[in-house]
Amino acid sequence: MQRTLIIKIFTILALTLLICLPMSMIEGTIRERSQYREQAVASIAADSVREQTIIGPVMLIPYSDEYDEQVTANGTTTTVARKVQRQHLVFPDGLQVKGSIDTDRRYRGIHQVLVYSGLHKFTGDFVMPAMNDLPRASAGSRITLGRATIALGVEDVRGIRNIPKIEWGGKAIEFQQGSGLRSFASGLHAPLGAIAFGAAEPVNFSFTLGLDGIERQHFAPVAKNNEITLKSTWPHPQFGGRFLPLARERTITDDGFSATWRISALSTSAQQQLLALEDKAESRDATLAALDRFSVGFIEPVNVYSLAERATKYGLLFVALTFAAFFVFEILKRLPIHPIQYLLVGLALVLFFLLLVGLSEHIAFAWAYLIASIGCIVLIGFYLSFVLRDWRRGMGFGVALTMLYGALYGLLSSESNALVLGSILLFAILAALMVATRKVDWYQIGKEDLVAQ
C-alpha cells in the first residue's frame, strides 16, 4: 500500500487517541461536579437534618438480677452476692404506620436537594410478658424491676417537629429525649411506670410523630406483624432496602404515590438483629448497617451527572465514527482533509459533553442536550461546508450527526435497553460503511496518490 496512505491512517489513529486526553479531562470534571453535589447534600444535612431511620417502637424493661455464686479460693468455698443490670426488649405484636409525606427543596449554590416533612400515625399493641420471660442468671435469682419505657429510635432527632404523646392504657404519656437503647441511643422514650406482667389482654398504643428528613426515609420492621402505608405528593419515589411495597397496593401517578408494606417476623430478622446489637452495645452506624430495613427515596428522577458520565463513554465512539466518515469521504470523493481539520472537528465533538454538563446544572437535561447538540451540529456543519467545498456536503454531515446525537439520547433514556440499541446502532453504521465502500478497489488506491499528507 502507498506510503502516504499508511501515514494518513496512522495520523487519524493518533488524532483519535489524542482526543482521549480532553475527553478524560471532561470525565474528571463531571466526577468533580458530582462530588460537589454530594458535598451540598452533606452540607444541608449537617445544617438541618439527615436521612431518617425509625426503629420501633419497642418496650424496654430494665431490671437488676441478684444471685448468689459459690466461689472457691485456696480450698475455701464462699458465697458471693452478684448483681447484674439487664434489660429485656418486648416487640409489638402488631404495628401499623400510616404516613403522609410532603417534599420541598433546599439549595446550596446551583445544587438542589430534596427534603421531606412527614406526619406518621403509629398504632399497635403489645402482648405483656410474664416475669418468667425475663432472662436471669439462675432460677433462684432475685429480680428487681426498673421503670419500663417505650423506646423509639430516630436517626436524627433534629427532624422531630412535635413532642409526641403515646396513648397507653387510657393515659397520654409524653415522650422524652433519648431512646434508652444501648445500640441506638438517638430517639425518644416514654416512661410507662409499673406494668402488668402476663396481662390477659394486649395493651394498645398509638401516637403521632412529625418527622423531617433529607432524600430517604427508612423503617426497621421490628414488630411481629408490620403494616406501613406511606403517601406523598412526590411522583418519583425510589423504593429500596430489603423489602419492596406490595405490587397490588402501590400506585404512582403524576400527583404522587401511595405504597403499603406488609412484613411479618417470619420474613425478617430485624428482632434478632436488634437483640444481638443490644447485647454487643454496637454503635448507631453499626446498628443501621446490620438491621433489616426498607426505604423510600425522594430524589430527582434524572441525575444529570450520571447521565452526562454515561454520555461521555460514547464520546470516543463519536469521534472515531466521524473520522471514519471523513476518511471514507476522502477515498470516495478524492478530496483530502487536513489533520488539523480532523482535530478541530474532533474537539467540537468533545466540547459537546462539556456544554451538556454545564447547561444541565441550570436547566432540564433534555433541554441541555438539545441546545448542546444543536450548537455542535450547526458549528460542525458550517465548518465542513467550507472544508468539503460544498454546503450540501456540510449539511449531509450535519444530518448524520443529528441522527447520531438522536441515537445517543435514546441510549441514555433507555438504560435497560442500552446494550441492544447500541449494538443495533454499531451494526447499522458498519453496514453503511461497507455499502459505501463496496466498489472501492483498495489495491488500486495503493497504487495511486489519492491521499494527501
User: For 426-446, what is each residue's pLDDT tens digit?
Assistant: 777 778 777 766 776 666 655
Spatial distance between the Cα atoms of 193 and 105, rounded to a whole number of angstroms: 42
For residues 308 and 30, the answer to whether their CB atoms sit within 8 Å is: yes
State the average pLDDT over residues 44-49: 73
User: For 338-372, what is each residue's pLDDT tens digit?
Assistant: 878 878 888 888 888 888 888 887 887 888 888 98
Which range among 37-51, 110-124, 207-221 has the greatest average pLDDT? Answer: 207-221
Q: Is the dihedral of CA 131, 136, 139, 143 positive or negative?
A: negative
Instruction: Of 28, 50, 33, give the one whose Cα is nearest residue 41.
Output: 50
Q: Where are the domains of the chain?
A: 3-38+304-445, 53-298
**What does CATH list as the number for 53-298?**
2.60.40
Show the cell assigned to 309.
458520565
User: For 133-163, what is each residue's pLDDT tens digit?
Assistant: 777 767 667 777 788 899 999 998 888 988 9
- Report the pLDDT value the prediction gives residue 100, as an integer from 0 to 100: 93
User: For 252-271, what is each residue's pLDDT tens digit?
Assistant: 988 889 999 999 999 998 89
Instruction: Please work out, in degrees rounded to the nearest 5, the angle formed at the alpha carbon of residue 46 by the alpha carbons of 41 and 50.
Output: 70
User: For 70-128, what is each residue's pLDDT tens digit?
Assistant: 777 777 777 767 777 788 889 999 999 999 999 888 776 666 778 899 999 999 999 88
Count the Cβ atoms, other than its own, within 10 Å of residue 234: 20
Task: Return the C-alpha torsion angle 44, 26, 397, 364, nearest 10.
Answer: 0
User: For 293-317, what is each residue's pLDDT tens digit?
Assistant: 999 988 776 667 777 777 777 777 7
Q: Is the dihedral of CA 386, 390, 391, 395 positive or negative?
A: negative
Show the cell assigned to 314.
460514547
Residue with grid cell 420492621, as numbered in its chain: 221
- Report the pLDDT value the prediction gives residue 453, as an integer from 0 to 100: 39
452 pLDDT band (50/70/90 cuts)?
very low
